[in-house]
Structure 1
Amino acid sequence: MASSTLKNVADTEFLPENQLILNAVSEGIYGFDLNGDAVFINPAAEKMTGWKAEELLGKNIHDCHHHSHSDGRHYPQEECPIYNTLQDGMQREISHEVFWRKDGTCFPVLYNSTPVYKDNQLIGVVAIFRDISMQKQTEQSLRQALKQVQALSEKLSSENQYLQLELANKTGDVGISGHSEKIQELIQQVALVANTDSTVLISGENGTGKELVARNLHQLSHRADKPLISVNCAAFSATLLESELFGHEKGAFTGATNRRKGRFELANHGTLFLDEVAELSLEAQSKLLRVIQEQEFERVGSSETIQVDIRLITASHHDLLKRVQQGLFRMDLYYRLNVFPILVPPLRDRLDDIPELVNHLIHDLNRKLGKKIIGVSQKGLQQLMSHRWPGNVRELQNVLEREIILSQGDVLQIAPITNNHSHNTLHTKLLTFAQMEKQYLIQVLQQVNWRISGPAGAAQLLDLAPSTLRSRMKKLGISRPN
Structure 2
Amino acid sequence: MSSVIKHFLNDPKLLLNAVGEGIYGFDLSGNAVFINPAAEKMTGWEAGELLGKKIHQYHHHSHADGSEYPADECQIYKTMFDGETRYVKGEVFWRKDGTCFPVEYTSTPVFRDDQIIGAVAIFRDISQQVETEQALRIALKQVQSLSEQLKDENSYLLSEINQNWQGSGLVGESHVFIRMLEQIKLVSKTDSTVLILGENGTGKELVARNLHFLSGRSEMPFVRVNCAAFSPSLLESELFGHEKGAFTGAHDKRKGRFELAHNGTLFLDEIGELPQEAQSKLLRVLQEQEFERVGGSKTISVNIRVIAATNRDLWKMVEDGAFRMDLYYRLNVFPIKVPPLRERVEDLPMLCANMINKLNVRLGKQIKGIARQSLKKLQAYSWPGNIRELQNVLEREAILSHSHTLHLSQPLDLGAIDSHDDDKNQSLEAVQKRHIAKVLALCGWKISGKFGAAEKLGLNESTLRSKMKKLNIIKNRDI
Report the TM-score when normalising by structure 1.
0.51
Take 1:197 and 1:399, find their aligned partners in 2: how far apart are those partners?
37
Alignment match, 1:58: none
Alignment match, 1:434: none
Letter in 2 for 1:344: V
Deviation at 1:419, TM superposition (A): 4.3
Take 1:202 and 1:407, find their aligned partners in 2: how far apart are those partners?
36
SS in structure 2 opposite 1:380?
helix
Letter in 1 for 2:406: L
CA displacement, residues 330-378 of structure 1 (integer Å, 9 cap, x when unaligned):
0000000000011111000000000101111112223333333222111
Letter in 2 for 1:326: D
Alignment match, 2:404: 410
Which range is displaced more, 328-337 or 369-378? Answer: 369-378
Alignment match, 1:326: 320
SS in structure 1 opposite 2:195?
strand
Alignment match, 1:254: 248
Alignment match, 2:439: none
Take 1:297 and 1:372, find their aligned partners in 2: how far apart are those partners?
52
Give the 5 Å matches for 1:290-369: 290-369=284-363
What runs of 5+ residues in structure 2 fail to find an aligned partner? 1-165, 415-441, 451-479
SS in structure 2 opposite 1:313?
strand
Take 2:380 and 2:297, find their aligned partners in 1: how far apart are those partners?
58
Alignment match, 2:218: 224
8 Å CA contact 1:278–1:320 kept in 2: the answer is yes
CA shift in 2, pair 1:281/1:297, >3 Å = same
Deviation at 1:384, TM superposition (A): 1.1
Take 2:242 and 2:404, find their aligned partners in 1: how far apart are those partners?
51
Alignment match, 2:373: 379
Alignment match, 1:213: 207
After TM superposition, the runs of 4+ consecutive aligned structure 1 residues lying more than 4 A away are 419-426
CA displacement, residues 131-178 of structure 1 (integer Å, 9 cap, x when unaligned):
xxxxxxxxxxxxxxxxxxxxxxxxxxxxxxxxxxxxxxxxx9424110
Letter in 1 for 2:239: L
Deviation at 1:257, TM superposition (A): 2.1
Take 2:227 and 2:233, find their aligned partners in 1: how far apart are those partners?
11
8 Å CA contact 1:269–1:310 kept in 2: the answer is yes
8 Å CA contact 1:175–1:216 kept in 2: the answer is no
Identity %: 61
Alignment match, 1:177: 171
SS in structure 2 opposite 1:293?
helix
The alignment of Structure 1 onto Structure 2 pairs a total of residues equal to 255
CA shift in 2, pair 1:378/1:269, >3 Å = same
CA displacement, residues 289-330 of structure 1 (integer Å, 9 cap, x when unaligned):
000000001111211111000000000000001111111000
Take 1:311 and 1:279, find their aligned partners in 2: how far apart are those partners?
20
Alignment match, 2:230: 236
Deviation at 1:249, TM superposition (A): 1.7
Take 1:173 and 1:249, find their aligned partners in 2: how far apart are those partners?
41
Alignment match, 1:392: 386
Bigger CA radius of gyration: 1
8 Å CA contact 1:383–1:416 kept in 2: the answer is no
Deviation at 1:258, TM superposition (A): 2.0
Letter in 1 for 2:350: E
CA displacement, residues 171-213 of structure 1 (integer Å, 9 cap, x when unaligned):
x942411000000000011111011000000001000111111
Letter in 1 for 2:259: E
8 Å CA contact 1:201–1:342 kept in 2: the answer is yes
CA displacement, residues 107-153 of structure 1 (integer Å, 9 cap, x when unaligned):
xxxxxxxxxxxxxxxxxxxxxxxxxxxxxxxxxxxxxxxxxxxxxxx
Could you tell me which of 176, 198, 204 is aligned with 1:204? 198
SS in structure 2 opposite 1:318?
coil
Letter in 1 for 2:282: L
Give the 5 Å matches for 1:408-447: 408-419=402-413
Take 1:331 and 1:350, find their aligned partners in 2: how far apart are those partners?
32
Take 2:335 and 2:397, find their aligned partners in 1: how far apart are those partners?
36
Alignment match, 1:158: none
Alignment match, 1:270: 264
Letter in 2 for 1:272: L
8 Å CA contact 1:204–1:317 kept in 2: the answer is yes
Take 1:404 and 1:418, find their aligned partners in 2: how far apart are those partners?
15
SS in structure 1 opposite 2:209?
helix
RMSD: 1.8
SS in structure 2 opposite 1:236?
coil
Take 1:372 and 1:258, find their aligned partners in 2: how far apart are those partners?
50
Take 1:393 and 1:258, find their aligned partners in 2: how far apart are those partners?
41
Deviation at 1:253, TM superposition (A): 1.6
Deviation at 1:404, TM superposition (A): 1.3
SS in structure 2 opposite 1:248?
coil
Take 1:286 and 1:173, find their aligned partners in 2: how far apart are those partners?
38
Deviation at 1:425, TM superposition (A): 7.2
CA displacement, residues 90-120 of structure 1 (integer Å, 9 cap, x when unaligned):
xxxxxxxxxxxxxxxxxxxxxxxxxxxxxxx
CA shift in 2, pair 1:173/1:234, >3 Å = farther
Take 2:409 and 2:381, find their aligned partners in 1: how far apart are those partners?
12
Take 1:425 and 1:216, find their aligned partners in 2: how far apart are those partners?
29
CA shift in 2, pair 1:362/1:425, >3 Å = farther
Letter in 1 for 2:265: T
Alignment match, 1:189: 183
Report the TM-score when normalising by structure 2.
0.51
Take 1:285 and 1:228, find their aligned partners in 2: how far apart are those partners?
21
Take 1:275 and 1:365, find their aligned partners in 2: how far apart are those partners?
26
Give the 5 Å matches for 1:115-194: 173-194=167-188
Alignment match, 1:458: none
Take 1:400 and 1:257, find their aligned partners in 2: how far apart are those partners?
46
8 Å CA contact 1:229–1:263 kept in 2: the answer is yes
Which range is displaced more, 247-256 or 311-320? Answer: 247-256
8 Å CA contact 1:205–1:425 kept in 2: the answer is no
Deviation at 1:261, TM superposition (A): 1.1
SS in structure 2 opposite 1:261?
coil
Alignment match, 1:283: 277
Take 1:326 and 1:287, find their aligned partners in 2: how far apart are those partners?
20
CA shift in 2, pair 1:325/1:273, >3 Å = same
CA shift in 2, pair 1:249/1:367, >3 Å = farther
Take 1:212 and 1:274, find their aligned partners in 2: how far apart are those partners?
13
CA displacement, residues 15-46 of structure 1 (integer Å, 9 cap, x when unaligned):
xxxxxxxxxxxxxxxxxxxxxxxxxxxxxxxx
